[in-house]
Chain A
Amino acid sequence: MSAPPFSSRALFRVIHAGAMTSLQDRGRPGLKACGIPCGGAMDLNSINRLNQMFDQESDLACWEMLWASLQAECLGDCVIAYAGDAQGYVNECAVAAERTITMRCGDRLRFQARGQSLWTYLGVGGGWHGPQWFGSQSVWPDGGMGRLLRDGDILSAAGAPAWQLPEGVSARFLRAENSMRNSHFRVFKGPQWLAFPEAARESFFQSPWRISEQSNRAGFRLEGPALSVPEKQWISEPIVVGSIQVPANGQPIVLLNDGPTVGGYAKIAVLHPDDLNRFRQFPPGCLITFSLLS
């Protein structure tokens, strides 16, 4: 017998959306050959933990909030949880991250950023309702896939109205990694590593780099000593997420989720995949350093 059809159920009315709030899941890998970047959550660890908490094997989308300042009024009973460094409040009482929270109609939910990390995620039992593009709910406005959350929007549940907590979930507490403040990142040599002058390669590792305010989901810009770049120009080549390219001004750019799939700037290094989530949580103004893996 197939499950009865259900329509999405309104759960929250957004009073304040915040600067950059969008629905994100694990993204849409495998479409680079169409020019479509993977996209998806900037901190996959956080949405993976939220997914685990709701006992979902599937890839549920969460609201990704930059410097979380979301305020919303609950329209329908539900169970939520959040992950990230921001502080959540229900009716002005602080609620802990990475625990399930039961919301009742009329409750007020709000978040306040604490400035330690960029992205906070809000999940709901049964998942959030939202359109899919190529099998993913990840929003990418520049690619014509959805838009950022706005004041007045309604957040709806995708799951059945009868969605219930799996046994034991309210007591569950999944610990976050405690390594967030480690500002040191491991990289591999990039495809054009050998073409960079030796002085540039040395200062790339010796200098601390400041994460620029001119950073977004497509890439983080770094500020530091101007690296001299190879004179040779390269024909455009495919890019992996975490590549560190150096344009003519000598200031590296770390290419991330919504970045181009192909590009021509010389790439000095590539971030280790296991360091990516921590890197993408680092706020502008922070200083970071790199070390070379063999």
Chain B
Amino acid sequence: MFDASTAILSTHAIRYGRDAWLVEFAEEAGDESFAIAAMLREQLEKHPPPHLSEFCFAYTRVLLEFASEQCPTQAPEFFSMEQRPHAARKRIIEVCYDGEDLQRVAQHCHLTVDEVIAVHSSARYRVHFLGFAPGFPYLSGLPARLNTPRLDSPRTRIAAGSVGIGGAQTGIYPLPTAGGWNIIGRMQDPLFDPSAPLAECTLLRAGDELEFRAVTSFSR
């Protein structure tokens, strides 16, 4: 199934409870970890190890969970495959930049509000994985100029669709939750629809490329 030139990918595996392995495939989050994750995802989908019940990616680690008492004693191995140029799905999300912490972010970053909007909406982001809550995208690509510390005291309720900045990260809250990020705007379409079929329940998917487009009002 793999040609002779494929090599075993160097990973570090940690046993995680009775039924899982946690495999570290990169040391830090970045373009390289993003590319390796895409490669591993393809291998897991095409050739899942026996008794694998589910897998779940984060930036640098993938969780492999097995059926009850079926976890292999050795962690599964992955192959280092030639990187095919992969066509990422491109997603453009309209954002109304009217968040309550926009001024705070501007002050912290020594920018005007318009500059914050321009910088945030001209960058290109990547969806590394979904997690924490349904449809919540872990993104990379926030320009370092916009890094803003989390709020000292998290808000108890943040509306679904709120776009925020927390430290070096930016993201969108899919569901109304408590949260400590600086809210700079909001989007209209839901990130997660529990009534949709599984393949369509999240607006974004791991591997997507994402841009935010500033709008003053939503078109519908």
Give the interface of A toward B (CB within 8 A).
29-36, 133-134, 142-145, 188-191, 235-240, 242-243, 260-263, 270-273
Closest residue on chain A to residue B28 by CB atoms: A235
- Residues of B within 8 Å of A262, CB to CB, are 56, 58, 129, 131-132, 138
Asked if B194 is at the interface of the complex by the 8 Å CB criterion, the answer is: yes
CA distance A243 to B136 in the complex (A): 21
Q: Quick one: given A32-B63, A34-B201, A240-B19, are A260 and B14 in contact (CB under 8 Å)?
A: no
* New contact pairs (7) apart from A145-B194, A240-B19, CB-CB < 8 Å: A32-B63, A34-B201, A35-B174, A189-B15, A190-B16, A238-B58, A240-B63
- Residues of A within 8 Å of B28, CB to CB, are 235
Contact of A35 among B29, B65, B131 (CB under 8 A): B131
B201 & A270 in contact (Cβ 8 Å cutoff): no
CA distance A173 to B202 in the complex (A): 44
Closest residue on chain A to residue B195 by CB atoms: A133
Interface size on B, residues (CB 8 A): 42
Closest residue on chain B to residue A133 by CB atoms: B194
Asked if B53 is at the interface of the complex by the 8 Å CB criterion, the answer is: yes
B175 & A240 in contact (Cβ 8 Å cutoff): no
Asked if B68 is at the interface of the complex by the 8 Å CB criterion, the answer is: yes
Closest residue on chain A to residue B64 by CB atoms: A238
- Residues of B within 8 Å of A145, CB to CB, are 194
- Residues of B within 8 Å of A35, CB to CB, are 130-136, 174, 192, 202
- Residues of A within 8 Å of B132, CB to CB, are 35, 236, 260-263
B131-171 to A contact mask, C-beta < 8 Å, 1/0: 11111101000000000000000000000000000000000
Nearest 10 pairs of A and B residues by beta carbon: A262-B131, A238-B63, A270-B17, A32-B56, A238-B56, A35-B130, A144-B194, A30-B54, A35-B134, A237-B61
Contact of B18 among A133, A134, A243, A272 (CB under 8 A): A272
- Residues of A within 8 Å of B138, CB to CB, are 236, 262
B22 & A261 in contact (Cβ 8 Å cutoff): no
- Residues of B within 8 Å of A235, CB to CB, are 28-29, 58-60
- Residues of A within 8 Å of B198, CB to CB, are 31, 34, 134
- Residues of A within 8 Å of B78, CB to CB, are none
Can you spell out 9 A-B residue pairs with CB atoms less than 8 angstroms apart?
Answer: A33-B129, A33-B131, A134-B198, A143-B194, A144-B192, A191-B16, A236-B58, A238-B61, A240-B63
Give the interface of B toward A (CB within 8 A).
14-20, 22, 28-29, 53-63, 65, 68, 129-136, 138, 174-175, 177, 192, 194-195, 198, 201-202, 206
A188 & B17 in contact (Cβ 8 Å cutoff): yes
Closest residue on chain B to residue A274 by CB atoms: B18
Contact of B130 among A34, A142, A240 (CB under 8 A): A34
- Residues of A within 8 Å of B16, CB to CB, are 188, 190-191, 240, 270
Closest residue on chain B to residue A263 by CB atoms: B132
Q: Quick one: given A34-B135, A143-B134, A144-B175, are A191 and B19 in contact (CB under 8 Å)?
A: no
CA distance A134 to B68 in the complex (A): 22
Contact of A36 among B58, B63, B129, B134 (CB under 8 A): B134
- Residues of A within 8 Å of B129, CB to CB, are 33, 262
**Best-buried of B17, B28, B195 by chain A (most CB within 10 Å):** B17
B131 & A32 in contact (Cβ 8 Å cutoff): yes
A142 & B175 in contact (Cβ 8 Å cutoff): yes
- Residues of B within 8 Å of A272, CB to CB, are 17-18
B202 & A142 in contact (Cβ 8 Å cutoff): no
CA distance A237 to B65 in the complex (A): 14
- Residues of A within 8 Å of B57, CB to CB, are 33, 238
Closest residue on chain B to residue A191 by CB atoms: B14
Task: Looking at the assembled complex, report how far the CB atom of B192 sits from the nearest CB atom of chain A, in whole angstroms.
Answer: 7
**Best-buried of B130, B138, B175 by chain A (most CB within 10 Å):** B130
- Residues of B within 8 Å of A273, CB to CB, are 17-19, 68
Closest residue on chain B to residue A131 by CB atoms: B195
Task: Looking at the assembled complex, report how far the CB atom of A275 sits from the nearest CB atom of chain B, in whole angstroms.
Answer: 10
